[in-house]
Structure 1
Amino acid sequence: MSTAGRLGPYHLLSRLGAGGFGEVHLALDPEGRTVAVKVLHPHVAADEQALARLAREVETMRLVRGPHLAEVLDADLTGSRPYLVTRYVQGRSLGAVLAAGGPLRGEELTRLARGLAEALAAVHAAGVVHRDLKPANVILADGEPHVIDFGIACALDSASVTASGAVLGTPGYLAPEVLEGGEAGPAADVFAWGATVAYAASGRQPYGTGPPPAVAYRVVHHDPDLAEAPAWLVPLLRECLRRDPSARPEAAELCARLGGAAPPPLPAERPRRAAAPEPPTQEWRPRSRETAGQVDDARTRHRDKVRRRWVAGSGVVSGLVAAAVHQYVPELSLLVLSAYGVGVLVDAGVGAVSRARGRVVFALVSGAGTAGLYAALIALFSPFTLLLALGTVLFVLLTVAFAG
């Protein structure tokens, strides 16, 4: 549904969606840049206590910066239609990505886990608690996660807002201490991080689905279902999903274990704020190297895929070249086949030394396939036809090479 109009200095373009606290609109700021404007629902705007709390929090929220945060840019909470303005991130929610494509794997999963940890570390360093981290509040843009709505749920936590219909948190991502009536602190965000990453890694809700009370009961009394999560990630997820908030790692520690960097603390604007988390200790370093190894494995698999494509593709071209010139320049035909054969043998030898049996088999099969292709082309096509085919292939390759 589209909408148009002005709200303060912002020109509203279209409605992006709605949540428990307000409607989000794509808008243009006075300089013509796209921003996201969150207009609070009337029942939220009518709560003076909640608005006063949010107004105090906004000043701190505007100081929070990070590559994985949709920063708060502006706010007007005194007019008839109170609103907040954040950076607009063009992408899809994590929930939508998982629903369409299934769980994340390899580097995609690592980037998500690391990015969310860095976002929480930046938020916590400012003394802010997100409280409602979940897949719907994570936007993926170019493979990188961006957290939205940080600090809003906690600031608007009041009896009248809740009674008016706004749901403060989502069962399955709310920590046990919050479900039991306790305060939502940074440890509650770490629990939500664990539940969100577990869902992204497995495609399954760690505490199942069903009516909210049933899910909440499982969070408090049952262990999470991590059966489909990668083995390297399970220990960290279990620590983050512990029932005891004091036993969970801090966001800065998550960054260290995932190979990320915790942000520097913000200048002390308000003495009542908690200090930034202490730098990670030595005990986390082995896990950081373990996670880095997972990324290296993904890169190794990618390089192996590229190598296979190169071996197979160069085999096809070598067979075509040798067949096309065998009648006119037989020496060149023999040279091309010999050069490719030597290359295949070298590749197979490297595979044998590294005990990569699949690499050896692929190299030898490629060599035999090239020889078979050469013999089949000579038997089925005339030299002139083969020359035309070779010219076409070379033209296509040159066009692709210089297209960029």
Structure 2
Amino acid sequence: MVEWISGGGMGAVYHGRRLSDGADVALKLLHDERHAARLESEARLLSRLRHPRVARVLDDRSHGARRCLVTELVHGPSLARLLEQRGPLPVAEALEYVRQLCEALAYVHAQQVVHRDVKPANVVLGERGVVLVDFGIARDLRGSGSGGATGAIGTPGFMAPEVLAGGTVSPRTDVFGVAATLWTLVVGKPPRFLEPTLLCERADGVDRTVAEAVRAGLEPDPYLRLPSVRAFAGALGAGLEPARLESPRVLETIVRSAAGVFHAAAASIALFDRAAGDLVYECSWGPGAEAVVGMRLPLGTGIAGAVLAAGEPEAIPSCRTDPRFARQVAASTGYVPGTMLVVPLRRRSAPFGIVQVLRDGAAFGPGDIERGSAFVNLALATLDADAGETLTGGS
């Protein structure tokens, strides 16, 4: 361990250094065994979250005698520390941090997770913008609970009224936390319980639109509050991009359907991580699928990267003779396909990922390109209707 970062009733977080490669990490050590279930829950939730604005779990040691959780270390101050150093922030700067925070939470909520402790101390300003950390009291809405935690748990000033009352937790709970965070960044302290004044009456430079959005986010009744962080960002005038296909259930549905339609031996979906400039394999089915998930290819690398860069679908009759074939993928999976079909996923006409179908036997050809494009468009349209989000275009 290099140094102490922060601490609380559950445990403490340290700046650590991994002995195997010298990499800097964040090490969360449990001090009170009564919170063991919470640490296990945090590890379980983080293991399924992969987003540039959410701290990644690197090693789960939440079981055993010396319980700990190892995550990526975000080099930079928390927004709480930034407030201590500088005082209230300019409105435009605060709005940008909150917009990025809404990006993180929109993804987290799509995974059926509610953070429950959104506050400046849990938002770290890294090299690529803000990163959401500390999922110690997060709630899994799929029914696995939150480490046995019940009742009013969270941080006063940022805790939604329904949490204080022991009511139902939902994404609207985090909307309250985001609104309280924005208030705090601009005013310098959190809003009072049932705050009666508008933000524009407490801080200079806040226009009426932003003030009304914050009031709607701080609405005590969750059923009257803005329903999502996406709606909150839109009300602020800092709208987010249309939702990506981030749900594992959605990705798996498309991958399995593609494999069945094209009689494939394997299929994968990779999405473009704009922050890193990489194509990231998010879901895979077939030989070596576990090795594929999480693999990154720089834009333009491999057949998949080339298709994303060009934005046009492509049928590869023979993978073995194509010089673009990413042999590192084959080395990880132990499978070299005979032929491949790659179709870009589009949002507002711009590609943001690819569907990749691999098989042996009959080579993919021009007719398959048309079929593949039709399949992807149909799959996205069906999922749009199911999710109530616009993934392929529109507003």
In the superposition, the TM-score normalised over structure 1's length comes to 0.54
Paired position in structure 2 for 1:77: 62
Identify unmatched segments of 5+ residues in structure 2.
Answer: 140-145, 253-383
Letter matched to residue 20 of structure 1: G
Greater Cα radius of gyration, structure 1 or 2: 1
Q: Following TM superposition, by how much is the alpha carbon of 1:107 offset from its aligned partner in structure 2, in angstroms?
A: 3.8
Does structure 2 conserve the Cα–Cα contact (< 8 Å) formed by 1:67 and 1:146? yes
Q: Which digits, 9 at most, give the CA deviation of each residue in 1:215-274, with x for residues without a partner?
A: xxx34xx535522341141121111111121222312333445132244332129x9xxx
Q: 1:99 to 1:89 in 2, by over 3 A?
A: same
Letter in 2 for 1:223: P
Aligned pairs for 1:5-404 (under 5 A) are 12-29=1-18, 30-45=20-35, 47=36, 50-51=37-38, 55=40, 58-142=43-127, 144-150=129-135, 152-154=137-139, 155-158=146-149, 168-207=153-192, 218-219=193-194, 222-223=195-196, 226=199, 227-229=201-203, 230-231=206-207, 232-247=209-224, 248-256=226-234, 257-261=237-241, 262-268=243-249, 278-279=388-389
Contact 1:253–1:280 (8 Å) recurs in 2: no
Asked if the contact 1:93–1:135 (Cα under 8 Å) also holds between the matched residues in 2, the reply is: yes
Structure 1 pair 98–57 and aligned structure 2 pair: CA distance change class (3 A): closer
**Equivalent AA in structure 2 for residue 27 of structure 1:** G
Q: Give the alignment's TM-score, normalised by structure 2.
A: 0.56
Q: For 2:12 and 2:189, how far apart are their aligned partners in 1?
A: 28
Alignment identity in percent? 36
SS in 1 for 2:55: coil
- Give the counterpart letter for 1:123 in structure 2: V
Q: Which has the higher strand share?
A: 2
Q: Distance in 1 between matches of 2:15 and 2:240?
A: 31
Q: 1:140 to 1:82 in 2, by over 3 A?
A: same
**Distance change >3 Å, CA 157–CA 234, structure 1 → 2:** farther
CA spacing shift, 1:252–1:100, aligned 2, 3 Å: same
Query: Do the aligned residues in 2 keep the contact of 1:138 with 1:147 (CA within 8 Å)?
Result: yes
Contact 2:153 2:164 in 1 (8 A): no
Quote how far apart the aligned CAs of 1:114 are.
Answer: 0.6
Alpha carbons of 1:277 and 1:258: their partners in 2 closer, same or farther (altered >3 Å)? Answer: farther
Amino acid at match of 2:248: P
State the shift of 1:181 in Å: 1.3
Quote how far apart the aligned CAs of 1:56 are.
5.3
Mapped contact 2:95–2:182 kept (Cα < 8 A) = no
User: By percentage of residues, which structure has more helix?
Assistant: 1
Q: 1:168 to 1:113 in 2, by over 3 A?
A: same
CA drift at 1:31? 2.6
Q: Which has the higher contact order (CA 8 A, sep 6+)?
A: 1
The whole-number CA distance in structure 2 between the counterparts of 1:277 and 1:234 is 30
Length, aligned pairs only? 246
Cα distance change of structure 1 residues 202 and 128 upon mapping to structure 2, 3 Å threshold: same
Are the counterparts in 2 of residues 61 and 151 from structure 1 also a CA contact under 8 Å?
no
Instruction: Give the alignment's Cα RMSD to 1 decimal.
Output: 3.1
- Structure 1 spans left out of the alignment, 5+ residues: 1-11, 208-217, 286-404
1:206–1:224: 8 Å Cα contact kept in structure 2? Answer: no
1:66–1:119 Cα contact (<8 Å) kept: yes
- Aligned equivalents of 2:98, 2:15: Cα separation in 1: 27
1:186-207 residue CA offsets vs partner (Å, 9 max, x unmatched): 1111100000011112223211
Q: 1:252 touches 1:279 (CA, 8 Å); kept in 2? A: no
CA distance in 2, matches of 1:63, 1:258: 27
